[in-house]
Amino acid sequence: MSHGGLAGQSPASEVSVADYEVVLVTYHSAAQLSGLLEAADPEQRLVVVDNASGADAVVDIVARFPHGRYLDGEDSGFASAANAGARSSTAEYLVFANPDSRPTPEIWAKLVADLRADPTLVSVSAAPVGPTGHIEIGAGGYEPSVGRAVAHAIGLHRVAPTAGVYARPEVGADVDLDWLNAACMAVPREAFLKLGGWDERYFVYNEDMAFGRKVREAGLKQRLRTDLLVPHATGGSGGGGTKMPQQRGASMRSYLRHHNGRVAADAMVGALTAGTLVRIAGALVRGKTTLARQHMAYVRGILTGRSPYQN
């Protein structure tokens, strides 16, 4: 499970940039990557795995860092690319970061310090926040079940935050979660790889949910630091439009089928679809056609399982 709170931390001042490597997966996101790295220490170790295969000159950004490495991800998806970065690293600790997130080096150091202080802790994440300063829904969450899917579909999670699939904790709150968002996550490299890394059955999305499942099954711990806030532009990398929502739906369908019986999985797909159809109607009534199209794409993904990124 994931535990919030500040107990058991070691001083971040004891962590140097030589102690960990930052793993970044990009896909036509050179501008976001450049913005992320503006605050990075010039001596930071980092590996950028480029799923756009050099289309937007990401390699030139990496070249600014003496300890930067560039890998061609060959459009393999997040999980496969991030695993390639992890496997090629020799660092004791890794920090996964989204190009559209804006963590400070101090936050990275604090995450690594947590891992040093507790050998049973296999992942620790900072909390992504939106423009309002509130922690984003999906900073982590709970293992899907029929009840949780129904709760999400009817919007019960808005009044009972622990009832649905996705969590939206309050800043500074203690939380107990089944999986953590990987937008800003630190892991011990050897432990991460021993658990199999990210599940490459998921092109993008749900690999964090699957990793949380591995952590729980291994009897290890994960922690969301709700006191460490990282600005995050949700959907700011990866192409936007309707492709990402469709992929989100397709990955969720795959996850539900992989870890549940057919009847339970189909019941959850049905509940999530029904809830999204209601949201489509609401978006159309409010004249938000772009949002409605994105919801429609999610429905297409979760009903068909078809990825818009894979042939």
* Tens digits of pLDDT across the chain (311 residues): 555 544 444 577 789 999 999 999 999 999 999 999 999 999 999 999 999 999 999 999 999 999 999 999 999 999 999 999 999 999 999 999 999 999 999 999 999 999 999 999 999 999 999 999 999 999 999 999 999 999 999 999 889 989 999 999 999 999 999 999 999 999 999 999 999 999 999 999 999 999 999 999 999 999 999 999 999 875 444 445 899 999 999 999 999 999 999 999 999 999 999 999 999 999 999 999 999 999 999 999 999 999 998 75
14, 220, 46: which is closest to 116 by C-alpha?
14
> What pLDDT does 12 receive?
77
Q: Where do the structural domains in the chain lie, given as residue ranges?
A: 2-231, 243-304
SS (H, E, C) 242-283: CHHHHHHHHHHHHHHHHHCCHHHHHHHHHHHHHHHHHHHHHH
> What pLDDT does 7 receive?
44
> What pLDDT does 2 receive?
56
Reading the block at residue 305, the tokens are 């399982």
CA distances from 310 to 22, 203, 209, 236, 246 (A): 27, 8, 21, 20, 12
Q: Do residues 137 and 158 lie in contact, with contact meaning Cβ atoms separated by under 8 Å?
A: no
DSSP per position, 187-217: EEHHHHHHTTSS-TT-SSSSHHHHHHHHHHH
The domain covering 2-231 belongs, at the CATH homologous superfamily level, to: Spore Coat Polysaccharide Biosynthesis Protein SpsA; Chain A (3.90.550.10)
Question: In angstroms, rounded to a whole number, what is the distance separating the alpha carbons of residues 110 and 15?
Answer: 8
Helix (H, G, I), strand (E, B) or coil at 144: coil
237, 235, 236, 255: which is closest to 297 by C-alpha?
235
> What pLDDT does 161 receive?
87
